[in-house]
Amino acid sequence: MAYDRVLADEIRHALAGEDGLSEKHMFGGLSFLVGGNLAVAVRDDGLLVRVGADAAEELARTTAAGRAVMGARTMAGWLDVPAAAVATEAELSAWVRRGVGFARSLPAK
């Protein structure tokens, strides 16, 4: 699986101390789960962030993120965030926090 290992380490740093954190290879990269729910995944071209359908629509209009597409299917509530949009620690942290916030809003698995 191809993914940016440096970006994965930066995500680990951003998630340090997060309760219920686990990692799993999926979606063509390395996914970070909170309470068993995917929050963010690092792939070779940036991030996949789960934010929920309502937030995804707004964020796709107002940020560099776009709706995530897997195969022929657009994934409701998921965004592809290009690597250039998470170039700083603050930008990365904001996207990671969005993903963690949504994952925490779901029942733990």
pLDDT more than 90, % of the chain: 88
Contact 33, 103 (CB under 8 A): yes
| Cα gap 86→69, rounded to integer Å | 19
**Beta-ladder partners of 78:** 50
The runs of H, that is alpha helices, within 1-109 are: 5-14, 53-62, 89-105
* Interval 4-46: pLDDT, tens: 999 999 999 999 999 999 999 998 899 999 999 999 999 888 9
